[in-house]
Structure 1
Amino acid sequence: MITKLNLQDKIWYGLTMTDAAARQIKKLVTSDPRMFGLRLSINHSGCAGFSYILDLITEPNKSDLVYEHLGAKLFVPLQVMPLIDGTRIDYIKIGLNYEFKFYNPKAQHACGCGESFSI
């Protein structure tokens, strides 16, 4: 018997943000009063299969899950949760630049440049 997975019934571990990530999200959002938060999603791309996408949003989708830390809001489409559940998001300095870094326990492989991952 095949059962259909109901994403609404799943208990998620969720996502966490470091203080640095939350501060940067708040900084991005407060630069434009129309912004509501950031949406984290994934896209099929890169040499490993998936890449993370961060977008400023003016309105959340009804199916988005909301994660909040220090007043920063991160919206995640329900359908991507199976691929990123348990991820910790940080904002770190690499060389002369700063970037969001994703620590995804479900990611099995990453490409050499670090731009994509596979499950």
Structure 2
Amino acid sequence: MQNVTVTERAARRIRQVLADEPKGAMLRISVNGGGCSGFQYVFDIDRDRADDDIVIERDGAGVLVDPVSLEYMQGSVIDFVDDLMGQAFRIENPNATASCGCGTSFAL
């Protein structure tokens, strides 16, 4: 069972990003090896949903996550921030033991 949540701010931004994309497009979040801290989040726009993808929806915004990435993201909150460092999706991951200042890299 997935327990990843999307904040209202993130849902609003996802809808904005996908507004000019073809119908059925969603934000895909993947966890890959690499980055400053060992793992990194990858954000893509995707219209191809695999049979085993998990869809996380909030307020009309859809996020696709594959089952392997979901294991690394259990309990996470997907947010969107607009601060002095710029605009970005940020993932608050309770499983991460360290993260990088870039906000997209983490260690377990």
Superposition deviation, residue 114 in structure 1: 3.7
Structure 1 residues 36 and 117: CA distance shift in structure 2, 3 A:
same
Is 1:72 matched with 2:76?
Answer: no
State how far apart, in whole Å, the 2-side matches of 1:96 and 1:79 are: 30
Which letter maps to 1:28? V
Q: Which residue of 1 aligns with 2:4?
A: 15
Alignment partner of 1:91 is 2:50: no
1:43, 1:52 within 8 Å by CA — same for their partners in 2?
yes
* Post-superposition offset of 1:30: 1.4
Please state how far the C-alpha of 1:94 moved relative to its aligned partner. 2.1
How many residues matched?
108
Moved over 4 A (4+): none
Which residue pairs with 1:63 in the alignment?
52
Indicate if the aligned counterparts of 1:26 and 1:71 stay in contact, CA closer than 8 A. yes
| 2:27 counterpart of 1:38 | yes
Tell me: CA distance 1:63–1:46, structure 2 relative to 1, closer, same or farther (3 Å): same
In the alignment, residue 56 of structure 1 is paired with which amino acid? I
Please give the alpha-carbon distance, in whole angstroms, between the structure 2 residues aligned to 1:67 and 1:112. Answer: 26
Larger radius of gyration: 1
Q: Check the 8 A contact 1:67/1:74 in 2, yes or no.
A: yes
Structure 2 unaligned spans of 5+:
none
Q: In 2 relative to 1, CA 112–18 (structure 1 residues): closer, same or farther, beyond 3 Å?
A: closer
RMSD: 1.5
1:9-60 Cα distance to aligned partner (Å, 9 max, x none): xx33x21111110011111111122452111101111221001111101121
Give the counterpart letter for 1:54 in structure 2. F
Report if the CA contact (8 A) 1:36-1:60 is conserved: no
Partner of 1:48: 37
d(CA) in 1 for partners of 2:104, 2:64: 21
Identity %: 33
Is the Cα contact below 8 Å between 2:90 and 2:103 reproduced in 1?
A: no
Output the TM-score relative to the length of structure 1: 0.83
